[in-house]
Structure 1
Amino acid sequence: MVKLSVLGSGSRGNALVLSCETGALIVDMGFSRRELRNRMASLGLDPGRLRAALLTHEHDDHSKGCRVFCDELGIPLCTAASTADYLRRRGKLPGRVLEFEPGHDFQIAGFEISPFAVQHDAVCPVGFVIRHGSCSVGIATDLGDVNALVKQRLRDCSALILESNYDAKMLRDSDRQLYLKRRILGRHGHLDNVVAAEVIGELLTARTSVLMLAHLSGECNDPGLVRALFERRLAELDRNDLRFEILSQEHPVGPVELEDESPAQEVFAYAAN
């Protein structure tokens, strides 16, 4: 069985934990070491079970605690090679690193990791599909567009964590500077509610039991508006049977149990640099 726990999601910090019988991994560490530990403790998670950390991209709300947290636990940071170079030049890279390229799968901590490229204004941003046996978790928290590759990777996951960052009208009416609005609205920015709601029709299958909406803007979105929009959409798709969560910055969620009928064995562990 796989357990999914979200420590928080938003513009001030993102992190989630996946655990199975052989260990656990953390995806993104956008909080301080102390805050990561506190949030794990609030969900009854033991940091000592973590075997690796994954990083989607270098922005601070995803990478803030990665160096100190990984070094303290002695676990490797798995990140795209160009992202590692960026963090290394800024003294933000932990001592143990496993570099990967999008499109190249690898195994660690009892999980099979499939990183794939997404469109976002970062050095080498990625989403992940993380598998253990028959269970798969799709993660895409920062992306300006859901292209054919993203649809292919995220379709038919047991659990889907997808960005629903902003309401277009709230963003346009906000006091944010024009360049920032254009950045967010662009294909390398963030995903708006309507696009996210529309695309789930292509991503959800009978196998999908959990849908979590991530990275809601604190200024240009409204959880109530998002909930109403997606509940209507899920009703249209006749998918009121799945677990639906709107993730927040302040409140951790989980552990959520995902059934795994045929657990995979860890084939090998990487020797981190």
Structure 2
Amino acid sequence: MRFASLGSGSRGNATVVQAGSTTLLIDCGFGVAETRRRLGRLGMDLSELTAILLTHEHADHVAGVGAVARAGRVPVWATPGTLAALAPQVGVLPEVHYINCHAPWQIDGLAITPFPVPHDGRESCQYLLSDGAVRFAAVTDLGHTTAHMRTVLAGCDGLLFECNHDRDLLLGGHYPAALKRRVDGDFGHLSNAAAAQFIASLDCGRLKHFAAAHLSEQNNRPELARAAMAGALGCTADWIAVADQDAGLGWCDLA
């Protein structure tokens, strides 16, 4: 089992998880041509996608899902709230599956455990995936963490986790006051410090790869996110990967 990022940030998000012949795309924030190009960097083609899992309806996570799903005839899985919210903007999808964000299910050999997160989407969730031997979770777009998240994410072998902003940079930056309140609020995005506090409290004894994700280009810097997460995990900063907006993140093997 392995994971990679096609890109992560406010201009588009997509995470690839692969186990054997099963390849899942978590979110689809890029159009068809850009998704093909970014998959190509990983040695993959659109035709290899098994399913698309959506976390919520914000454009940086779903902007390309309609066109990509139709181009590749890829089924889409999401909560009823997410599907209802994005319906006007994506057109007809080739195959749709409604999920309960408290009910696990399986696609081929991958077990998928969705879990709700506090964000200002209509029915936001994130995902833990396992092939039976290793566990990976992609977790972004949440304003605060929960005890339920700590239970679900304990013992992961791989984590891609939100480090959206440095709070001092955000509050001292040029964003309008209302946007600062939204980003820094309980249903916005996690700061480096909040992410580090949560990760420090998590059982990370099996962790092989950690990637900081959804970094703000205006209100964060990779070195700040790396330093915060290295402090939480007790490792060197260069062990922390960063899922970049443009370059994404190459394959991280969990086996």
Shorter-chain TM-score: which interval? over 0.9
Show the counterpart of 1:262. Answer: none
**1:80–1:144 distance in 2 versus 1, CA, 3 Å:** same
Q: Which letter maps to 2:253?
A: E
The DSSP-based 3-state class of the residue aligned with 2:226 is helix
CA RMSD of the aligned region, Å? 1.7
**Equivalent residues of 1:3, 1:20 under 8 A apart:** yes
CA distance in structure 2 between the partners assigned to 1:28 and 1:129 by the alignment:
14
The DSSP-based 3-state class of the residue aligned with 2:197 is helix
Show the counterpart of 1:251. Answer: 247
CA distance in structure 2 between the partners assigned to 1:11 and 1:241 by the alignment:
24
- Offset at residue 242 of structure 1 (A): 10
1:140-165 CA deviation, whole Å, 9 max, x = no partner? Answer: 11100011111111121110111010
- Offset at residue 243 of structure 1 (A): 4.7
CA distance in structure 2 between the partners assigned to 1:229 and 1:207 by the alignment:
20
Show the counterpart of 2:188. Answer: 189
1:113-143 CA deviation, whole Å, 9 max, x = no partner? Answer: 1111000011111010011121111121110
TM-score (normalised: structure 1): 0.89
CA distance in structure 2 between the partners assigned to 1:228 and 1:16 by the alignment:
23
**Equivalent residues of 2:23, 2:49 under 8 A apart:** yes
Segments of 5+ residues of structure 1 without an aligned counterpart are 260-273
Q: Which letter maps to 1:227?
A: R
TM-score (normalised: structure 2): 0.95
Q: Identity of paired residues, percent?
A: 33
Show the counterpart of 2:6. Answer: 7
- Offset at residue 101 of structure 1 (A): 1.3
Segments of 5+ residues of structure 2 without an aligned counterpart are none
Runs of 4+ more than 4 Å apart: 239-243
1:74-103 CA deviation, whole Å, 9 max, x = no partner? Answer: 111001012112222444452210110111
Q: How many residues align?
A: 255
- Offset at residue 201 of structure 1 (A): 1.5
Show the counterpart of 1:72. Answer: 71
The DSSP-based 3-state class of the residue aligned with 2:6 is strand
- Offset at residue 207 of structure 1 (A): 1.1
